[in-house]
Amino acid sequence: MSDTRGAAAVTWLLGGLVGACIATMLGLLLFTLGSGLAAFAPAAIERIALADGSFRLGEVLTDDGDALLLRTSETRRIGDGYERLRQHGIVARSQPADAFAFEMADGRRVVGRGDDTALEAALREAGEGDRVIEVLRPNTLGAVARASVLVRRIARFVTTPPTASNLSGGVLPALVGTVVLVLLMSVLVMPFGVAAAVYLHERRGIGARIVRTAIDTLAGVPAIVYGVLGLGLFVHGIGAGIDRAFFADRLPVPTFGGGGLLWAALTLALLTLPVVVVSVEQGLARIPASLRDASLALGATREETLWRVLLPAARPAVLTGLVLAIARAAGSVAPLMLVGMVKLAPASPLDGEFPYLHPSRQFMHLGFAIYDAALASPDAIRGVPRAYACAMLLAAVVIVLNLSAIVLRNRLRDRYRAMDP
């Protein structure tokens, strides 16, 4: 009886720990979602009267109880409109209905008050030739209008490139680079991973033991070491050799020897190879032996049995390996910094110019955009909300890719469930 109670207690403890982990994960996702959406919400414009008789007009960014951080008009450059106001010097605060704000293409935000004539004058004063991308009167927006502004800003964030300062604009190049990198990595790693798993499943002996040891070793190598390996082997080794053989007329400007999408995908393929091999090998081991015996009894060769019977039955395990590979590759940023990822890429690796996919080009990545906005931005007031927005987008990309593979895997699993013993 005591053993039964002890086993039940352990079961409940483990269940509670699993539930706590799931709740923590959901909490982090909800926090990231909320913080990311908050970066796009329109902020109210306040008119603040000071004790000396002067007034300030702007967006209140923080209020710590002792002072306000106010963003007023940025007339010369982005980031020059911040002002800190002590609470004891504030006489009154209000949100005038005639307040307006507009954002320029370079990221500057200008605020003011007045009718349409005053707004047009402020637009002219902000600088001729600067393109205005948004004009709002935020203090008069209703719930529907605020939601419309939120959706419009998110769409602009996803579909436009960043500005030169990387403090404003969208993240389209980073989004394209992330998705293309993960898809190219999947195309490269899956054939090698499946082949290695089949070899380990079918063969015994010293060769299989050597391959298994190599796979186990790769699983324990830190991610940054893969970056160093990719830099030395792919970029400075194979890439430099390709340049000398086929692009000698362009040297010393590198083509493949300077880092790019292809070498980054190969580096991530090495990084994710162990999880694919383990997943596929376990899937092959779960296939009933009777299925193999029946195929051989009907006259099929071992190769035909493997190709036409075993591998189709193991497709759910193959897709499980793909899901795990995507999850690990999407968040691995450190090795990419050595093999082709940059802060601002001069051209996208995927465009409308033949051959459409350019594997030698450098690329941008959402993971690095998060780091750059949160820790390397010259304007932390803008950088931190932008980092949350990039994190929200990266989580959405990973979830969509994983869900697509999971749905396909579950359909295949249902098809072959009747074969389980």
pLDDT tens for residues 219-232? 888 888 999 999 99
Per residue in 327-353, pLDDT (tens digit) is: 888 878 889 988 988 888 878 888 888
pLDDT over threshold 60, residue 420: no
Starting at the earlier edge strand, list the strands of the sheet with 132-136: 109-113, 99-104, 132-136
How many angstroms separate the CA atoms of 307 and 300, rounded? 11
How many angstroms separate the CA atoms of 327 and 280, rounded? 16
DSSP 8-state code for residue 239:
I
Starting at the earlier edge strand, list the strands of the sheet with 67-71: 82-86, 67-71, 55-63, 46-50, 90-94
Count Cβ atoms below 10 Å from residue 209 Cβ, excluding itself.
12
How many angstroms separate the CA atoms of 354 and 358, rounded? 9
Per residue in 135-180, pLDDT (tens digit) is: 899 999 889 999 999 999 999 999 988 876 677 888 999 999 999 9
Q: Structural domains in the chain?
A: 46-139 (no CATH), 172-419 (1.10.3720.10)
CA 104 from centre of chain: 27
349 vs 5: which has the higher pLDDT: 349
